[in-house]
Amino acid sequence: MDAHATTAPVSSPDHAHDHPGVGTYVKIGIVLFVLTFMEVAVYELGYNHAGAGFGALLHPVVVPVLMMLSAIKFALVAMFYMHLKQDSKLFSGVFVFPLIIAAVVIFSLILLFAYHYAFQKLIT
């Protein structure tokens, strides 16, 4: 096959029928709303009612729980609303590869500066 061969793009109106319907979008919307409510509930219980009961149990894990809920919301929007689940894997690659670099940059900088501040405290 010719290396420079071209084909018609698949983003035609017919391709749109591969996308989920309005019902699925609404269900995902409800899940996103519930997850946001859970995030705020975790914040309220874990920080403002941390003295006793469920709040006391939640307090040490507020940050990981919030990160997990946020990651689920992120994935739902990317997969269903941005159609990465149905569209070409090339689009997923173009999005996910920089996302991995972004995550590495964030964690590297946090570690680097945590080390820097810890070292500063040690010498003062």
Partner 1 sequence: MSHDTAHALEHDTSTGLDNRKLAIWTFIGSECLFFASLISTYLVYRGKSLVGPFPHEAWTSPAGRHFDPILEIKLVTVGTALLLFSSLFVVIGLNGAQRGNRGQLLAGLGATIVCGIFFVGMQVYEFTHFVHEGLKLQTNLFGASFFTLTGFHGTHVTIGVIWLSTVFILALRGKLPPKKALNLEMAALYWHFVDVVWIVIFPVVYLMK
Binding status of residue 56 toward partner 1 by CB under 8 A: no
Q: Which of residues 28-47 bind partner 1 (CB under 8 A)?
A: 28-29, 32-33, 36, 39-40, 42-43, 47
What are the Cα distances from residue 124, in Å, to 112, 113, 114, 119?
19, 16, 16, 9
Q: Candidates 53, 67, 86, 115: give the one binding partner 1 (CB under 8 A).
A: 67
Give one DSSP letter per residue of 48-94, joined into a string.
Answer: ITTTSHHHHHHGGGHHHHHHHHHHHHHHHIIIIIS-TTTS-HHHHHH
Query: Residues 84, 92: contact at Cβ < 8 Å?
Result: yes
**Residues of the shown chain interacting with partner 1 in the complex, contacts defined by CB under 8 A:** 4-13, 16-17, 19, 21-22, 25-26, 28-29, 32-33, 36, 39-40, 42-43, 47, 62-63, 66-67, 69-70, 73-74, 77-78, 81-82, 88, 90-91, 94-95, 97-99, 101-103, 105-106, 109-110, 113, 117
